[in-house]
Amino acid sequence: MSLDAATVRRIADLARIAVTDQEVARLQGELNGILAWIEQLNEVATEGVEPLTGAVRMRLRLREDMVTEGDQHEAILANAPDRADNAMGSFFAVPKVVE
């Protein structure tokens, strides 16, 4: 499969990329090289090869989901440059960025 200059311009237009005539010629060569490489990959025999979802097939070890260090609000907020307190609790206070 080979792309002509009109197809390269169409691809650039769909990608919203402005290309000059000199760039079209360069891109045409690069895209045709990529398509040639893909055609080479299509020639590889893959019958009987299962697709991989990862490099190693293994099961993840599961552990019980439990809180190990909770109730540390004061320790966490101790280093805050500014904090806000209300009936719901204490929070980090940050400067207003949207007016």
> Over the stretch 69-93, which tens digit does the pLDDT of each residue have?
878 888 888 888 888 888 778 888 8
Find out if CATH 1.10.20 is the number for domain 5-42.
yes
Domain boundary assignment for the chain: 5-42
C-alpha to C-alpha distance for 10 and 22, rounded to whole angstroms: 15
| pLDDT at 99 > cutoff 80 | no
Q: How confident is the model at residue 55 (pLDDT cuts 50, 70, 90)?
A: low
- Summarised one tens digit per residue, pLDDT across range 23-36 is 999 999 999 999 99
